[in-house]
Structure 1
Amino acid sequence: MPTQVNIERRRQAIYGWLLLSPAAILLTAFAFYPSMATLWTSLFSRGTRRRPTEFVGTENYADLFADPTFWKVATNNLIYAGATIPISIAIALGMALWANSKIPARGFVRTAYFTPTVLPMIAAANLWLFFYTPGLGVLDQIGALFGLPSVNWLGQPETALWAVIIVTIWKEAGFFMIFYLAALQTIPEDLKEAADIEGASRFTYTRRIVLPLLMPTTLFIMVNALINSVKLIDHLFILTKGGPNDASKLILYYIWEMAFAFFDAPQAAAMTILILLVLGIVAGVKFTILDKRTHYQ
């Protein structure tokens, strides 16, 4: 006969599984199963009516590594992430420090900074077309005042990717500012008073006290910015469509193109698995190393 203690343990176990089941079901349906299905698809060849799919193992991955377009797109994404992440964080921090200070019309300043965030990326891209359009755009109109020639910002390999980067920074900085602003408001005023008593300058107070206390928030924003640098491609459909000559094509856009334009699902699945692998490594570094260095316990 089960004892009362065993019955209570079983009851608690059942209760725990009931609490866990909604999240487990959602993760299984929308994360684990799609990931495993994608991995399985990446191990087969592209099927046609005359030639059905065959198991090819890692051949799709080998083809990717031998594809110069893949390396071009991967390089573009590295440049895109390397520019958007630190610049967006720096601008967001600067805006948050200013919006948190005692300035006139502080509410208006916060609203103005946050407004680009509420715009869909498609709308933001269409808005920036008015800046980039050759001859008619705002940038060319300003340049004409100084006698500068017209520039096709989105049609030149040298400028297309950077034009896309600027749109992303403009869109993302206000969103990250909200997190910094919330974190700044949790810093006790006693620390500022103590710094003033010690004669610390505003710069010293910010560098020695504020920035270290904001490190957990910075890490959180950095991870989100990294994810966004992989998943944000909406503006590419409006601005450049990956051109010219793949100069602004990013990895997720290339996956979409491979799957739905070229109908090569195995190659698209292989690229997806590589992205998941990279993000998994980043997550592992974040949880095992960075969290210990940034959270103060």
Structure 2
Amino acid sequence: MSPALVLMSTFAFYPSLATLWASFFSRGTRRRPSEFIGLGNYQSLFDDPTFWLVVKNNLAYAAVTIPVSMGIALVMALWANAKIPGTSFLRTAYFTPTVLPMIAAANIWLFFYTPDIGVLDQLLGLFGLGSMNWLGRPETALWAVCIVTIWKEAGFFMIFYLAALQTIPPELKEAADIEGASRATYTRRIVLPLLMPTTLFILVNALINSVKLIDHLFILTKGGPSDASKLILYYIWELSFAYFDSPMASAATVLILIALGIVAALQFGLLDRRTHYQ
């Protein structure tokens, strides 16, 4: 266990503790050195309306992208696992967005969203509809980012579901057929319960992914307009590297780590009783 312990201590435990310690100090300048202020940074965060707007944006982003991407991934996996012609092509097509770099994927969708000359506006023009600035309107910017994330992550989650589907013994399907169970009943009563360990794993990873998006925002919206699409990691990046307020960024990071830990513990506690590992 020593190599793993050294790596975790170097790249996870120590940075987390250093971030926690830094969150208790003020921002230092050349004339005024940093000093211990306790929970002052946390109080400043709670008093910042932008912080609460970012939290609201991230909750909406997670509430949309997590269930939709997981649902699409499950449907794609069931289809790709079926004994139909062209399954190899289907698996490749579904997985292709996953292997694209984040920046490349964002640039592809920027071509879709560009007003007047973008693919979406060209399609709307065929039906006589006007141009829409998808990324420049507060009402649509966040949802446009959500679509990019769903497109990017569904194929990645599909691989896990597909691998889990291929471990289900075929004898179970034969027994279900003998008993006269329909395909829907077989899927609901046998397949989905056996996929629960994979679903739990994907759910935790999707939760983590929902708070670490930053690449797409740099290309698509930069958090705008009017912070309508700003998410928590982009907000932390701005605090640290745009406003040079590392202690405040550290405090925001600690809050996110605590929130993720609580949600993950609840997920394991609530779903583990419905999870079949054998």
Normalised by the length of structure 2, the TM-score is 0.98
Q: In the alignment, what sits opposite 2:121?
A: 140
Per the TM alignment, residue 119 of structure 1 is displaced from its structure 2 partner at its CA by 0.1
Matches within 5 A, 1:221-240: 221-240=202-221
Q: In the alignment, what sits opposite 2:174?
A: 193
CA distance in 1, matches of 2:28, 2:183: 65
Per the TM alignment, residue 24 of structure 1 is displaced from its structure 2 partner at its CA by 1.3
Q: In the alignment, what sits opposite 1:9?
A: none
Equivalent position to 2:157, from 176, 195, 216: 176
Identity level (%): 78
Q: In the alignment, what sits opposite 1:85?
A: 66
Equivalent position to 2:15, from 8, 19, 34: 34
Unaligned segments of structure 1, at least 5 residues: 1-19
Per the TM alignment, residue 292 of structure 1 is displaced from its structure 2 partner at its CA by 3.6
Residue 252 in structure 1 maps to residue 233 in structure 2: yes
Residue 122 in structure 1 maps to residue 103 in structure 2: yes
Q: Provide, for residues 127-152 of structure 1, a one-character-per-residue CA deviation record: whole Å limited to 9, x for no partner.
A: 00111000000000000000001000
Per the TM alignment, residue 270 of structure 1 is displaced from its structure 2 partner at its CA by 0.2
Corresponding letter in the other structure for 1:180: Y
Matches within 5 A, 1:1-297: 20-296=1-277
CA contact 2:136–2:225 (8 Å) conserved in 1: yes
Corresponding letter in the other structure for 1:201: S
CA distance in 2, matches of 1:289, 1:165: 27
Per the TM alignment, residue 287 of structure 1 is displaced from its structure 2 partner at its CA by 4.3
Per the TM alignment, residue 283 of structure 1 is displaced from its structure 2 partner at its CA by 3.2
- Cα distance, 1:21–1:178 mapped onto 2, change above 3 Å: same
CA distance in 2, matches of 1:105, 1:211: 24
Mean CA deviation greater in 250-259 or 285-294: 285-294
Corresponding letter in the other structure for 1:114: F
Normalised by the length of structure 1, the TM-score is 0.91
CA distance in 2, matches of 1:63, 1:295: 45
Corresponding letter in the other structure for 1:35: S
- Cα distance, 1:287–1:145 mapped onto 2, change above 3 Å: closer
Per the TM alignment, residue 48 of structure 1 is displaced from its structure 2 partner at its CA by 1.4
RMSD (Å) for aligned C-alpha atoms? 1.1
CA distance in 2, matches of 1:191, 1:287: 27
Per the TM alignment, residue 288 of structure 1 is displaced from its structure 2 partner at its CA by 4.2
How many pairs align? 278
> Which structure's CA Rg is the greater one?
1
Q: Provide, for residues 228-258 of structure 1, a one-character-per-residue CA deviation record: whole Å limited to 9, x for no partner.
A: 1111210100000000000000000000010
CA distance in 2, matches of 1:290, 1:27: 27
CA distance in 2, matches of 1:102, 1:200: 19
Corresponding letter in the other structure for 2:150: I
DSSP 3-state at the match of 2:117: coil
DSSP 3-state at the match of 2:181: coil
CA distance in 2, matches of 1:288, 1:278: 15
DSSP 3-state at the match of 1:231: coil
DSSP 3-state at the match of 1:193: helix
Q: Provide, for residues 255-287 of structure 1, a one-character-per-residue CA deviation record: whole Å limited to 9, x for no partner.
A: 001000000001100000001111221333344
CA distance in 2, matches of 1:215, 1:145: 44
Q: Provide, for residues 5-26 of structure 1, a one-character-per-residue CA deviation record: whole Å limited to 9, x for no partner.
A: xxxxxxxxxxxxxxx2211111
Per the TM alignment, residue 27 of structure 1 is displaced from its structure 2 partner at its CA by 1.1
Corresponding letter in the other structure for 1:147: G
Mean CA deviation greater in 49-58 or 72-81: 49-58
Per the TM alignment, residue 99 of structure 1 is displaced from its structure 2 partner at its CA by 0.5
Corresponding letter in the other structure for 2:216: H
